[in-house]
Amino acid sequence: QPPRRGQEKNPGLPASPRLPIVCADWAARDEGEPIRSQDSRGLEEGRGGCGLCGPYGPWCTSWPQCPAEAAIPGCWRAGSTPGRRVAADSGSEIKSYLVRLLTYLPGRPIAEIPISPQLLYEIGKLAAKLDKTLQKFHHPKLSSLHRKNFIWNLKNVPLLEKYLYVLGQNRNREIVEHVIHLFKEEVMTKLSHFRECINHGDLNDHNILIESSKSASGNAEYQVSGILDFDDMSYGYYVFELAITIMYMMIESKNPIQVGGHVLAGFESITPLTAVEKGALFLLVCSRFCQSLVMAAYSCQLYPENKDYFMVTAKTGWKHLQQMFDMGQKAVEEIWFETAKSYESGISM
């Protein structure tokens, strides 16, 4: 499968096929050296298998009552097991390895199909439902998801300033600097008015699985069947999850500006935004573009041999960000809000 969106978060990690799983996986080379997949950063950092069970160590006490199961019934299959240590005889000595067995999660990444307005609506609905479900998740170590300096939490957009040198002096940098300035002025001052929740933080088109079925008319219909990669989970706000989802759904769209209205409509069918949250949405989407694009450029400077891998988002991302910037907040919001409103009358645009 193609590399996932947001892969620039793993500098130096070469592209590799993604396993259709909810949690992390580990494997071992023949010589016994543990290696990690794209989803197993948590274990290497001592945080367990993923952002969801990660803070509690590799033996997650919440399994199998995982919030992901509540958000998407059936996304955990019978037979999934938490981590276990096993002993292996390597000849001269017995070594201990951590082995994690996971069942197959069926479905295809939505990146593999053209995304219709109706599917965008369902993805928005999914994002809101997931965050709402995560509010019911309790654990003594849940506070570890307050990741203060986590670069991928939207609250930390100002941290991008120390990486701006990688952009050189050009219009892209001017746009990012302006977005950061507006973020400090118009978002940081309003955080107390946003409703807090736990964010998945990476609902991109390679982290959402779908399954197809035939409708009565014989056409293919798609339903979301699973969510991957909980490694970026952290405390944030409902509007953060929506903004992140809109940004990633825009990346491959032929009509990127139209995307936001459909995702917004689905999200608000579960969690309507407040006026303050809605007023910040445009800037938050721009901010997520900046996070992804700046960190991709930074990673490319560190590991130029992986440039193609890091720059997937940048192929269209800069163009989309510039388009939003040129159109301005009022014009983009008008398209988003009118599209979302059309769902209320039953006639989606």
Q: Which residues are catalytic?
A: 202
And the tokens for 183? 């973020």
- The answer to whether residues 209 and 227 touch, using CB atoms and an 8 Å cutoff, is yes
Location of structure tokens 């163009």: 319
And the tokens for 130? 């997931």
Beta strands in 31-152 (DSSP E): 34-36, 84-89, 94-99, 108-109
Q: Which helix (H) or strand (E) holds 28?
A: strand 26-28
The C-alpha angle 190, 196, 197, rounded to 5 degrees, equals 150
Q: How far apart are CA 42 and CA 36, in angstroms?
A: 10
- The answer to whether residues 319 and 330 touch, using CB atoms and an 8 Å cutoff, is no
Tell me the torsion sign for CA atoms 105, 204, 126, 231. Answer: positive
